[in-house]
Amino acid sequence: MSATPDRKPRLTAADIRARKGGEPVVCLTAYTTPIAEIVDRHCDLVLVGDSVGMVLHGLPSTLGVTMEMMILHGQAVGRGLSRACMVVDLPFGAFEESPEQAFRNAARLMAETGCQAVKLEGGVHIADTVRFLVARGIPVMAHVGLTPQSVNTLGGYKVQGRGAEGDQVLADAQAVTDAGAFAVVLEKLPAELGARISREIAVPTIGIGAGPDCDGQVLVIDDMLGMFTAFRPKFVKRYAQLGQDADKAIEAYAAEVRARSFPGPEHSFAAELKNG
C-alpha cells in the first residue's frame, strides 16, 4: 500500500470556539474554488460572505444577494476546502422574519453547501433566532458593530460604537454569545471597544476593522489582494496589488493582439506532425 501524506482534520465550529484566548484565528473570505484551495492552506476559517454581491456581481450593497447566490458560491468554495472551517452568510431577508424562517434557510445552506456553520448579522434583537438555530444543531457565527445588511438604517458604512454607543455593541455581542454563537465578528469599531468586547465575552471575536486585540481577524480577500484600485477601507492592508498587475497584463495582451505578435509560432499548431 502506498503511503499518503497526513492530512490535518477538518476544523469545526467547536474547534474555533476553543481558540478563545489562544492562537489567533485566521480568516479570509472566498467565493470560488481556486481561491478556496489557496486560502485553505493558510486559514482556519473561510467565510463565504454576502460581500460576494459587491465583489463579484457588482451590486451596490449586499442587500440584493440571494440564497441561490450564497448556495452557488458556497458549493464552489466547499470543493476547494479540506481543512478550514467553512461559514456561509445568511443573506438579507433570509432570517429576520422568524426563527423558523432562519432555520429553514440555514438548514438549506448547510445541506446544499456542506458548510460547518452559518453567519447572521445582528445583536440583541436576533439572539432568540441564534438560540433557536443552535438548539437545532446549526452552529452560528454572529456579527455585530457595522452590519452591512443594515446600511440603510445605520446611515452608511461608518464606524460604530463610539462613545456611549459602545455599551450597546457590547450588549449585542453578549446577547448572541449567551444565545450560543461560537464566535462573533466585530466590524468597524474603535480598537478600544474591540479589546473590551474581546475581554468580556466568552467566545472568540473575529475583527474586521476592530483593532489588534480581537481573537482573530478577517478581511475580504479581494481587498487584501488589491484587486480594486479605488476602493480601500482604512482597516484593509494590501498584501498584493493584483488589480494593477492584471491591468498591465491585459494591456500587454491587447497590444500584442493588435500588433499580430500574439499568437506566435510557439502558440500555434502545424498542419502535419513531424517524424521522429
Give yes or no for a contact between 66 and 25, defined as CB atoms under 8 angstroms apart: no
Residue partners of 71: CB distance under 8 A and separation at least 6: 108, 109, 112, 113
**Residue written as grid cell 489588534:** 212
Quick check: is 187 catalytic? yes
What's the DSSP call for residue 238?
A: P
Identify the active-site residue in 23, 68, 97, 187. Answer: 187
In the structure grid, which three cell numbers stand for residue 241, read together?
496589488
* Residues of the binding site for Mg(2+): 50, 89, 121
* Residues of the binding site for 3-methyl-2-oxobutanoate: 50-51, 89, 119
DSSP 3-state assignment of 120?
Answer: strand
DSSP 3-state assignment of 258?
Answer: helix
Question: Between β-strands 117-121 and 140-145, what pairing exists: parallel, antiparallel or unpaired?
Answer: parallel
DSSP 3-state assignment of 93?
Answer: coil
DSSP 3-state assignment of 118?
Answer: strand
Identity (one letter) of the amino acid at 117?
Answer: A
Residue partners of 260: CB distance under 8 A and separation at least 6: none
HSE (side-chain half, CA atoms, 13 Å) at 15: 15
What's the DSSP call for residue 9?
A: P
What is the CA angle 164-159-193, rounded to 5? 50
What's the DSSP call for residue 116?
A: S
The catalytic residues are 187
